[in-house]
Amino acid sequence: MQLSGTYTALVTPFNDDAEQSVDFAAFDRLVEAQIDGGVSGIVPCGTTGETPTLTSAENLAVIERAVRAAKKRVQVIAGTGTNSTRSTIEASRAAASAGADAIMVVTPYYNKPTQAGMLEHFTAVAKSVNVPVVIYNIPSRSVVDLLPETLKQIAEACPNVIATKEATGNVLRAQTLAQMMGPKMTVLSGDDALTLPMIACGAKGVISVTSNVYPKEVSRATSLALEGRFAEARELHLRLLPVHEIMFVEANPSPAKAALAHKKMMTEVVRGPLLRISEGAREKVLRAMSAFERASS
């Protein structure tokens, strides 16, 4: 399995009802918009999908719906990581059985495992499934940082570990991974604002939040960079930069959902403890969207 281009870390739409149930009709619309926008793949049940607030049954239902909606037109990389090795194995096997093309496993959060603990965790998960594995390293959320040396050991032990979503916020890390791992490990940017410089250092694409809102434009910027057309890529990347930044004006995915609600694609309902963004933040999101759309017209 080759990974290249833009992969959208899908939000999970909710109905504005007492249960805040998953809005599968809106989810289908979102997936179609991504495919129409030219993304390479979709990533249901990542952090942006609010998986900590979904039940296990809901997680699996969202992954199954993503597989059905994609209809093999794009790759489906299902988020299955938890801070329990046993639970992650169960979720990963279920996602593979549901037809996901690959799984994405985040570094275990809260319980702060050592490098040796993460080596055992990821090795056990990867060996439990027969699909490709993407490792998601995001120290700002999980507290622990999977070091390049540990990632190399995991990849050597598990040939199906094929990629890493690199979200340390450090372009030098992407450079180190490309140098250390070479073609054995695909590096994907985990930060929209860093996609262009990371591709320049050897990354092959991005797992994006912004592409929920602007799939065509994010896909275009990524493709231009991968084609080596850096002047054009830089122009579009810099135009998108204020939008990338505003997606985190408050906790993700609340700003993205506000943007999608403005586009009448879904409600902006998020599950607690997250809240809908404040009115001041909403004004900033809408201003950034308006400025980007004017500049792109």
User: What is the secondary structure of 50-97 as a DSSP string?
Assistant: TGGGS-HHHHHHHHHHHHHHHTTSSEEEEE---S-HHHHHHHHHHHHH
Instruction: Catalytic residue, from 136, 204, 257, 284: name it.
Output: 136
- Let me know the angle formed at the C-alpha of 52 by 219 and 89, rounded to the nearest 5 degrees: 90
Is 165 designated active site?
Answer: yes
Please tell me which residue in 7, 72, 112, 165 is annotated as part of the active site. 165
Instruction: Tell me the C-alpha to C-alpha distance, in Å, between residue 149 and each of 30, 119, 173, 179, 201.
Output: 38, 10, 12, 12, 18
Cα–Cα dist 185/90, whole Å: 25
Q: For residues 23 and 294, what is the distance between their CA atoms, to the nearest angstrom?
A: 31
Q: Is the omega angle on the peptide bond into residue 273 within 30 degrees of 0, that is, cis?
A: yes
In the DSSP assignment, the letter for residue 170 is: -
Tell me if residue 180 falls in helix, strand or coil: helix
Written as six digits, the tokens of 62 are 């969202």
Is 136 a residue of the active site?
yes
Active site residues: 136, 165
